[in-house]
Amino acid sequence: MSSASAAGASADAPVQVLEDFAGLVQLLSDGTVTRRSDANGLPVPSSPPTLSAEWKDVVYSPNHGLKLRIYRPVAASSAAAELNVEGDDAPAKLPVLVYFHGGGFCVRSFDHPNFHACCLRLAGELPALVISAGYRLAPENRLPAAHDDARTLVSWLRAQAAAAPDTWLGEQADFGRVFFAGDSAGGNIAHHVAVALGSGLLGVAPARVSGYVLLWPFFAGVERTRSEAESPPGPFVTLPVYDQFCRLSLPAGATRDHPALNPFGPESPALDAVALPPVLVVVAEHDLLRDRAAGYVARLEAMGKPVELVEFQGQHHGFLPVDPWGDAGGELIRVVRRFVYGGASRN
How far, in Å, CA of 60 to CA of 321, rounded?
24
β-strand partners of 4: 33
How far, in Å, CA of 56 to CA of 45, rounded?
20
How far, in Å, CA of 254 to CA of 249, rounded?
10
Considering the candidates 184, 210, 227, 249, report the single residue annotated as catalytic: 184
Side-chain-facing half-sphere of 308: CA atoms under 13 Å? 14
Which residues neighbour 83 within 8 Å (Cβ) at sequence distance 6 or greater? 127, 341, 344, 346
Cα torsion angle, 8, 10, 11, 13, sign:
negative
* Coil/strand/helix, residue 332: helix
How far, in Å, CA of 135 to CA of 109, rounded?
8
How far, in Å, CA of 236 to CA of 271, rounded?
31
H helix intervals, 164-289 = 167-172, 185-198, 226-230, 239-249
Which residues neighbour 250 within 8 Å (Cβ) at sequence distance 6 or greater? 138, 142, 143, 256, 258, 260, 261
Other CB atoms within 10 Å distance of the CB of residue 202: 16
β-strands 17-21, 25-28 pairing: antiparallel
Task: Based on the residue annotation, tell me whether 184 is a catalytic residue of this protein.
Answer: yes
Question: What are the catalytic residues?
Answer: 184
